[in-house]
């Protein structure tokens, strides 16, 4: 198994150059094509069209120009950083909602690489991670701000839970796991479930071994600390540079609301998180 094409979202945020370099380093390690994608949409002015009719047209023109300029800047940033690199690259950009654009174009990639959400997201210029996870049918790799080193050649934590999301994430992450020297399958569980947790994680280790992934199982009774806190502690203790996990939550119309563990890790984890749904 391998990733043949990676897709990285590019915007004009200050963390975009590091994200592009991260994606480029991973593309080089995988021998994959890197697709840069950018989306922006003119934001409709919130004015009374009857009281300010003449100004509405001017505001819409200015907003259209702003969106086009941001898209051009994103493309320029991407092309500048991939020029001369030892992998193929291409650019896709459009005046469109970023989330909808990424979902639509995700058919061309095996893995989508996004930055961590900076705060409340606006559909005009920033994709919603949960929405893309729910609608794209592709795994996501969420990159903390400023990180350039690709998660290969080290230790990976698989945060196991007996769900279809965990099974999907573990399978979809195989090309990444095969690029690393050690994978630790971690399940944090209740006291009365510890024996079953050990059996489950050992099964996952056996599965990974059949795919030539060196893996070990680690089970622990969850104490006073929350699951996100303890997972991050284990990742630090083991020197891991990636966490693989299922993306959990629920849908409200088109908006995806993450469950507590996923949400807290996405907000605080200092290493990349691989998500699948």
- Tens digits of per-residue pLDDT, 130-142? 889 989 999 999 9
The pLDDT, as a whole number, for residue 94 is 96
> 275 to each of 21, 35, 54, 70, 141, how far by Cα in Å?
20, 19, 47, 28, 6
SS3 7: strand
The pLDDT, as a whole number, for residue 17 is 97
CA 160/CA 179 separation, integer angstroms: 20
pLDDT value at 100 more than 80: yes
Mean pLDDT of the 96-100 span:
93
The pLDDT, as a whole number, for residue 58 is 76
The pLDDT, as a whole number, for residue 80 is 98
**Homologous superfamily of 155-276 in CATH?**
HUPs (3.40.50.620)
Tens of pLDDT, residues 20-76: 999 999 999 999 999 999 999 887 666 555 555 556 667 778 888 888 999 999 999
Q: With bands split at pLDDT 50, 70 and 90, how would you rate the model's confidence at 115?
A: very high
Residue 152 in contact with residue 274, Cβ under 8 Å?
no
Per mean pLDDT, which range of 54-58, 156-160, 216-220 is the poorest?
A: 54-58
Q: What pTM was computed for the model? A: 0.92
Looking at the chain, the domain(s) classified CATH 3.40.50.620 span: 5-143, 155-276
The pLDDT, as a whole number, for residue 63 is 84
pLDDT value at 259 more than 70: no
Residue 186 in contact with residue 215, Cβ under 8 Å?
no
Share of the chain above pLDDT 90, in %: 72
The pLDDT, as a whole number, for residue 15 is 92
The pLDDT, as a whole number, for residue 126 is 83
Query: 186 forms bridges with which residues in the sheet?
Result: 159, 218
CA 55/CA 58 separation, integer angstroms: 5
Q: How many CA atoms lie within 13 A of 166 on its CB side?
A: 13
Mean residue pLDDT across the chain:
90
pLDDT value at 253 more than 80: no
Q: Which fold has domain 5-143?
A: Rossmann fold (3.40.50)
């Amino acid at each position: 198994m391998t990733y043949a094409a990676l897709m990285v979202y590019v915007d004009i945020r200050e963390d975009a150059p590091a994200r592009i370099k991260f994606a480029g380093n991973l593309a080089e390690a995988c021998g994959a094509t890197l697709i840069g994608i950018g989306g922006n949409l003119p934001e409709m002015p919130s004015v009374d069209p009857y009281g300010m009719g003449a100004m509405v047209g001017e505001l819409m023109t200015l907003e259209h120009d702003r969106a086009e300029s941001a898209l051009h800047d994103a493309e320029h940033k991407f092309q500048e950083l991939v020029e001369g690199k030892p992998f193929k690259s291409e650019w896709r950009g459009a005046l469109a909602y970023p989330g909808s654009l990424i979902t639509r174009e995700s058919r061309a990639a095996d893995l989508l690489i996004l930055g961590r959400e900076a705060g409340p997201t606006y559909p005009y210029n920033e994709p919603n991670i949960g929405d893309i996870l729910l609608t794209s049918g592709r795994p996501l790799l969420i990159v903390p701000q400023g990180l350039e080193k690709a998660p290969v050649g080290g230790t990976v934590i698989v945060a196991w839970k007996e769900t279809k999301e965990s099974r999907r994430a573990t399978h979809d992450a195989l090309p990444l796991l095969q690029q690393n020297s050690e994978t630790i399958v971690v399940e944090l569980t209740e006291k009365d479930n510890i024996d079953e947790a050990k059996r489950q994680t050992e099964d996952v280790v056996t599965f990974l071994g059949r795919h030539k992934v060196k893996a070990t199982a680690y089970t622990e009774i969850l104490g006073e600390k929350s699951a996100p806190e303890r997972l991050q502690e284990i990742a630090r203790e083991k020197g891991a540079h990636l966490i693989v996990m299922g993306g959990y939550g629920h849908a409200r119309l088109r908006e995806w609301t993450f469950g507590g563990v996923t949400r807290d890790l996405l907000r605080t984890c200092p290493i990349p998180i691989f998500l699948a749904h």
